[in-house]
A = this chain, B = another copy of it.
Amino acid sequence: MPAEPTPAALPVAAARRRRLRADRARQLADLLRHQILAGGFPSGVLPLEDAIAADYRASRNTVRQALDLLRGERLVDRQPGVGTVVVCVKYPHGLDRLQGLAETLHEHGRVTNEVRTVGPVTAPGPVAHRLGLPEHTDVLCIERLRRLNGLPLSLDLSYLPMDVGGELLGCDLENTDVFRLLESLTGAPLGHAEITLEAVNADAHSAAVLQAPRGAAVLMLERLTCLSDGRPVDLEFIRFRGDRITMSGLLHRSV
């Protein structure tokens, strides 16, 4: 039988309880986050704290702390007289095949693009290298702020070889995915893309452009897209607002 705790052990025990509660709150927040993102609260209002506590067999303190975490992520907010309401929608970007933004989000509304920069620039060494071009060749540089139903979603910077990109200059970049324009210009479907995803904190300037708080978590996608013959034609650096986009797909164990 364990000995009674000595007075010296009490602060340790209290610290351990606090740590355990913080762990449980995070675990509960993760479950609630999934429910929120999966549309599990169609009314937009979460159940009362007591009901959540009963459903998840958690204490009210744990529930409160979990809701605080979700408030900190700006997923929910507390509304006097209403309760805890969902204030943020995250849109699912497909990760199973190569798709443009308007294409992958077509069920969720209209994507519009504010073209911030468009024109030829001398390709920096690594850009030329990745696009398979000689150094110091001109490439087309396009920067767009992309919105879904008017809300800023992402800031995209693209570099394209001039022979392909030049033809984009006369196209409707405001309302059309570059992928779709490339396919209609080349008359053939795109091939594949190498992608790299990272989570980074937004610097002050990117945050301001995306209308997000400074330091907000950003899902950063680097994507090198190739034609079906393997020629790289579009090198992109995309910053998605972390509070507005998820990336979902299916992975298989065997390849």
Find A35's partner among B25, B92, B126, B194 (CB 8 Å cutoff). Answer: B126
Query: Are A57's CB and B237's CB within 8 A?
Result: no
A246–B220 Cα distance when bound, in Å, is 10
Measured CB to CB, the closest approach of chain B to A190, in angstroms, equals 4
Given contacts A143-B23, A218-B217, contact A197 B246 (CB under 8 A): yes
On whether the beta carbons of B252 and A124 are closer than 8 Å, the reply is no
Whether A242 pairs with B98 at a CB distance below 8 angstroms is: no
Residues of B near A205 (CB, < 8 A) are 19, 22-23, 25-26
Q: Are A27 and B195 in contact (CB under 8 A)?
A: no
* A102 interfacial contact with B, CB 8 Å: no
Q: Which residue of B lies closest to A255 (CB)?
A: B97
* A89 is an interface residue with CB less than 8 A from chain B: no
Is A242 touching B199 in the complex (CB atoms < 8 A)? yes
Once the chains bind, are A250 and B192 in contact (CB under 8 Å)?
yes
Distance, CA A255 to CA B217, complexed state (A)? 31
- A56: which B residues are within 8 A, CB to CB? 124-125
Picked from B26, B27, B196, B218, the residue with its CB within 8 Å of the CB of A248 is: B196
Kindly list chain B residues whose C-beta atoms are within 8 Å of the C-beta of A190.
253
Select one of B40, B90, B217, B237 contacting A201, CB under 8 A: B217
Contact A250 B194, CB 8 Å, known A55-B125, A143-B23: yes
Number of copies: 2
A49 within 8 A of B: no
Cβ–Cβ contact A127 & B96, under 8 A:
no
When C-beta atoms are compared, the residue in chain B nearest to A189 turns out to be: B253
A201-217 interface bits toward B, Cβ cutoff 8 Å, 1 = contact, 0 = none: 10101100000000111
The chain B residue with its CB closest to the CB of A73 is B200
Partner of A247, one of B193, B197, B206: B197
Judged by a CB distance under 8 angstroms, whether A117 is at the interface is yes
B-contact 0/1 string along A6-42, CB 8 Å cutoff: 0000000000000100110111101100110100100
Q: Given that A125-B55, A205-B26 are contacting pairs, would A217 and B196 also be in contact in the complex, using a CB cutoff of 8 Å?
A: no
B203 touching A72 by the CB < 8 A rule? yes
The distance in angstroms between the C-alpha atoms of A73 and B202, with both chains bound, is: 9
Q: Which residue of chain B has the shortest Cβ distance to A254 in the bound complex?
A: B189
Tell me if A95 is interfacial: C-beta within 8 Å of chain B: yes
A177 surroundings in chain B (CB, below 8 A):
none
Contact A215 B199 (CB under 8 A): no
Q: Which B residues are in CB contact (< 8 Å) with A19?
A: 205
